[in-house]
Amino acid sequence: MVRVGILGATGAVGEALIRILLGHPEARLTFLASDHAAGTRVDQALPVLRGQTDATLRAPDLAGFVAEADVVFLAKKGADSMEWAPKLVATGLKAIDCGAEFRFRDPALYERFYGAKHTCPELLAEAVYGLPELYRDSIRKARIVGVPGCYPTTAILPLAPLLAEDLVAPAGIAVDAYSGLSGAGKTYNEKTRNLFVDCDENCRAYNPLTHRHAPEIEQELSLAAGKPATALFVPHLLPLDRGILTTIFADLARPATTADVLALWRQRYANEPFIRVFDKLDEVTLANVHRTNYADFSALVDARSSKLVIVSALDNVIRGACGMAVHSMNLMCGLPETTGLLFRCV
C-alpha cells in the first residue's frame, strides 16, 4: 500500500487526484494538504465527495509528509513546487509535480515562458518527463517526475515515433488544438475568460504560437527527432468540460501511406495499455476518451500534397494530467502500472 500526500488538495488537479486515488486499490490518501482550507473536511470543501471519504484537510507540513507519506503530488499552481520538491526529495520521498516546474531540460525555457526564476535547476536536471510511453524506465527510477502538459501529450504521443523514424519532417508542424474548459481550472481566469457566458456557444483561439505549452511540445519533438523540431501551436477553447482534440498537419519526410503510419504506431505502441490507434480520423472523438486514461489517435495521408493529417484525443484531466501522474506513481512505486487506472466512463 502506497501512502500518498497531496499538496494543494482542493484545486482542480488536487480534486481529480483525490477522485482517482480513492478508487486505487494500492494507494491510501494519508495527507491532504491545503493552505486555505486546513481543518475543513474534504467532503465539505468538495461536496461531490460526500459519502466517499471522511478525511480532513491539513496544513502543509514537511514532517507530516515524511511521517505519513511515500509519495507526494505537488498539485498547487505556480512556483510553490520549486520550494517543496527539493525538501521532499531530500527526505527520501518521491515527488510528482503536476505543474510546469520540472518539465523542461533547459531552465532558461522555463524562465522565459513562465516568468519566474528556476530556483532548483539541479533537481530539474534529474527530473524525468512523466510520459510513460517515452520514459517508462527512467520514471521507474526517478525521485522526481514532471507531469507533462495536457496539450503536449496530445501532440507528442502520435508524433514522437514518426519523427524518430524520419517519417515526418520536423519543421513547421501545425498543431491545431481544441480544449474544454476544465483545463482552465476552477477559479476565474481573466486571460482565458472562463465564465459560462464567455464560452457557451463560442469558440476562439488564445495565445496562438505563444502558449506556454509550445516550448514543451518542441522540446519533446526535437528529442524524438534527434534534431530541432518546430511546431505552430494554436490552442482554442471548446464549449465543453473535458477533453482535448488536436488536429495536426505535418509534411511527410519520405513517401508513406496511411497504412504505413498506422502500422508504425501499432508496432511502437503494441504493449501500451493506454494508447488506442484507430483506422480513421473520424473514429477519434472526445466522447470515446471521456473520463478515461486513453490517448486515441489516427492518421490520414494526403498523397497529393505529401502531408499527413493526425487527429488525437484525450481527457485533459485524466490522461492529460492526473491519470498520467498516477501512472508515474505506479511505476515509481513498483506497482503494476495500470493499477487504479482502468476506469471506464460509466
Strand order in the sheet with 94-97: 27-33, 2-7, 71-74, 94-97, 144-146, 128-129
Answer for which of 38, 79, 171, 223 binds a copy of itself (CB under 8 A) is: 171
Can residue 288 be called a binding residue for a copy of itself (CB under 8 A)? yes
Which residues carry out catalysis? 150
CB of 42 to a copy of itself, least distance (A): 13
Residue 77 to residue 61: CA distance in whole angstroms: 18
Stretch near a copy of itself under the rule CB under 8 A, chosen from 106-114, 120-128, 132-140, 176-184: 176-184
CB of 274 to a copy of itself, least distance (A): 8
Identify any residues that bridge with 300 across adjacent strands, giving them in sequence order.
309
Cβ proximity to a copy of itself, 142 vs 245, nearer residue: 245
Residue 84 to residue 62: CA distance in whole angstroms: 8
Residue 238 near residue 179, CB atoms below 8 Å? yes
CB of 283 to a copy of itself, least distance (A): 6
Answer for which of 138, 230, 268, 339 binds a copy of itself (CB under 8 A) is: 230
Residue 175 to residue 111: CA distance in whole angstroms: 23
Per CB under 8 A, contacts with a copy of itself among 199-228 are: 199-209
CB of 117 to a copy of itself, least distance (A): 26
Per CB under 8 A, contacts with a copy of itself among 24-53 are: 47-52
Cβ proximity to a copy of itself, 60 vs 243, nearer residue: 243
Can residue 266 be called a binding residue for a copy of itself (CB under 8 A)? no
Stretch near a copy of itself under the rule CB under 8 A, chosen from 112-120, 123-131, 144-152, 271-279: 271-279
Answer for which of 23, 78, 226, 255 binds a copy of itself (CB under 8 A) is: 23
Cβ proximity to a copy of itself, 125 vs 203, nearer residue: 203
**341 in helix, strand or coil?**
coil
Cβ proximity to a copy of itself, 117 vs 227, nearer residue: 227
CB of 99 to a copy of itself, least distance (A): 19
Can residue 300 be called a binding residue for a copy of itself (CB under 8 A)? yes
In the structure grid, which three cell numbers stand for residue 90, read together?
531530500
Residue 129 to residue 105: CA distance in whole angstroms: 9
54-63 contact pairs (CB < 8 A, 24+): 55/29, 56/32, 57/9, 57/10, 57/32, 57/33, 58/31, 58/32, 58/33, 58/34, 59/33, 59/34, 59/35, 60/7, 60/33, 60/34, 60/35, 60/84, 61/33, 62/87, 62/88, 62/91
Can residue 147 be called a binding residue for a copy of itself (CB under 8 A)? no
For 81, counting Cβ atoms within 10 Å of its Cβ (0-12 exposed, 13-18 middle, 19+ buried), the class is: buried
Answer for which of 145, 181, 217, 295 binds a copy of itself (CB under 8 A) is: 181
Residue 284 near residue 297, CB atoms below 8 Å? yes
Can residue 85 be called a binding residue for a copy of itself (CB under 8 A)? no
In the structure grid, which three cell numbers stand for residue 19, read together?
477522485
Stretch near a copy of itself under the rule CB under 8 A, chosen from 17-25, 34-42, 99-107, 118-126: 17-25
Q: Kindly state the number of chain residues that form the binding site for a copy of itself, as judged by CB under 8 A.
A: 82
Residue 18 to residue 340: CA distance in whole angstroms: 12
Per CB under 8 A, contacts with a copy of itself among 307-346 are: 307, 309, 311, 317-318, 323, 342-346
Can residue 20 be called a binding residue for a copy of itself (CB under 8 A)? yes
Residue type, 269: Y
